[in-house]
Chain A
């Protein structure tokens, strides 16, 4: 078996966290190489290892993959987290919506404080009025334990990550979504996910200004 999966990113959630969740849920061990300085990023770029000069980058199966979605799709397909073409269409559709909502969280601290207040309000509004109702409805419509195909897929993993993320801003956001709460509990109890949720795992903490300041230095923005 070739070398371990290696993740190249900063020591924070950002766009890499969804990849960490998925690998962890699939029971795949991975190493992390953290960017500490702008020079670290420059080196990766100059060595020609970043196709579009951007991270995340994941070394896996002899490839250096970039583009978050491409990476997530590869890992999910490889580890059987989505069956046939129609199921995959549903999974993709759900996950794209989740990524749109998660994007607000990823970008939150890049805004000036006054704008952060607006973005936070937007996050809560979209969670409550658009995204959580959609997923609650999916679960209600088939009454099954998982979002798609009556089996665990990456859609479940990403949704539970998202639920944890939004609850960090306001624990009350899941109050009116009993099926989402039940999904969260169920997925959290899967052995691989349970392990990832424990202290000492490779899960990264809630983003703060310290991580943001470091990211600004590395990515020069």
Chain B
């Protein structure tokens, strides 16, 4: 059997976290190599394994994959979390593109100067409450099923849970008007692989703090 997938990134969430969630939910063990210094990062760039000179990088099945969405799509398809046909897949793509947009706003927000950062994060919470969460609440209401697509656990469910937890870290009451999302959150969190990932000691990373921001700025030099 092939080696475990190997993830190259900083020791923090960033763009790699959704990939960690997906692998963990699929029950796939993975290794991680963390950048501590600029030199380590430059070495990886010089080795020519970063197609566009950027991370995340995931080594899997003999490939050096970069570009977050490409990696996520590959993993979802490989581990049967991408729906049963093309029409289910496009719905999963639509939903995950939406949640990824939301999470990317948070990722970018933490690097801004304080006042702007607070404004951005407040706007994320507002977006979640008025644009994104109502959509998913309605989807669950309309079909009355346990999972977002095709009555089966998929990448869309994993990413929605990740997004919910991330926004709740900014505002714990964000689900107060969304009873089905609350039930969804409990249900998906109790799936054994996810439950394990949510426990201390897993490879899930904590919310970004000033140490993380400083580390990334140092390594990416911005």
Interface set of A (CB-CB < 8 Å, partner B): 51-53, 61, 63, 65-71, 73-74, 77-78, 85-86, 88-90, 92-97, 100, 130-131, 134
Q: With A85-B77, A89-B70, A97-B67 as given contacts, are A70 and B52 in contact (CB-CB < 8 Å)? A: no
Please give, as numbers and ranges, the residues of chain A lying within 8 Å of B71 by CB-CB distance.
89
Question: Is the CB of B126 closer than 8 A to any CB of chain A?
Answer: no
Question: Is the CB of B87 closer than 8 A to any CB of chain A?
Answer: yes
Interface set of B (CB-CB < 8 Å, partner A): 51-53, 61, 63, 65-71, 73-74, 77-78, 86-87, 89-90, 93-94, 97-98, 101, 131-132, 135
Give, as a whole number of angstroms, the nearest-CB distance from A217 to chain B.
Answer: 21
Task: State which of A61, A69, A85 has its C-beta within 8 Å of the C-beta of B74.
Answer: A85
B61 touches A67 (CB 8 A): no
Please give, as numbers and ranges, the residues of chain B lying within 8 Å of A90 by CB-CB distance.
63
CA distance A78 to B87 in the complex (A): 10
CA distance A89 to B66 in the complex (A): 9
CA distance A212 to B179 in the complex (A): 41
Give, as a whole number of angstroms, the nearest-CB distance from B164 to chain A.
Answer: 16
Residue on A nearest B60 in the bound complex, by CB: A89
Main SS of chain B's interface residues? helix
Give, as a whole number of angstroms, the nearest-CB distance from B80 to chain A.
Answer: 11
Please give, as numbers and ranges, the residues of chain A lying within 8 Å of B53 by CB-CB distance.
130
Give, as a whole number of angstroms, the nearest-CB distance from A165 to chain B.
Answer: 17
Main SS of chain A's interface residues? helix
Residue on A nearest B72 in the bound complex, by CB: A92
B97 touches A67 (CB 8 A): yes
Please give, as numbers and ranges, the residues of chain B lying within 8 Å of A53 by CB-CB distance.
131
Please give, as numbers and ranges, the residues of chain A lying within 8 Å of B78 by CB-CB distance.
85
B93 touches A73 (CB 8 A): yes
Please give, as numbers and ranges, the residues of chain B lying within 8 Å of A51 by CB-CB distance.
94, 98, 135
B90 touches A86 (CB 8 A): no
Give, as a whole number of angstroms, the nearest-CB distance from B71 to chain A.
Answer: 8
Give, as a whole number of angstroms, the nearest-CB distance from A42 to chain B.
Answer: 15
A93 touches B94 (CB 8 A): no
Please give, as numbers and ranges, the residues of chain A lying within 8 Å of B69 by CB-CB distance.
69, 92, 96
Give, as a whole number of angstroms, the nearest-CB distance from A55 to chain B.
Answer: 13
Please give, as numbers and ranges, the residues of chain A lying within 8 Å of B73 by CB-CB distance.
73, 88-89, 92
Q: With A53-B131, A61-B87, A85-B74 as given contacts, are A67 and B94 in contact (CB-CB < 8 Å)? A: yes
CA distance A94 to B51 in the complex (A): 8
A70 touches B65 (CB 8 A): no
Please give, as numbers and ranges, the residues of chain B lying within 8 Å of A71 by CB-CB distance.
90
Task: State which of B52, B94, B98 has its C-beta within 8 Å of the C-beta of A131.
Answer: B52
Residue on B nearest A64 in the bound complex, by CB: B94
A-B contact pairs, 20 of them (CB 8 A): A51-B94, A53-B131, A63-B87, A69-B93, A70-B97, A71-B90, A73-B73, A73-B90, A73-B93, A74-B86, A77-B86, A85-B78, A86-B61, A89-B70, A92-B74, A93-B65, A96-B67, A96-B68, A97-B67, A131-B52
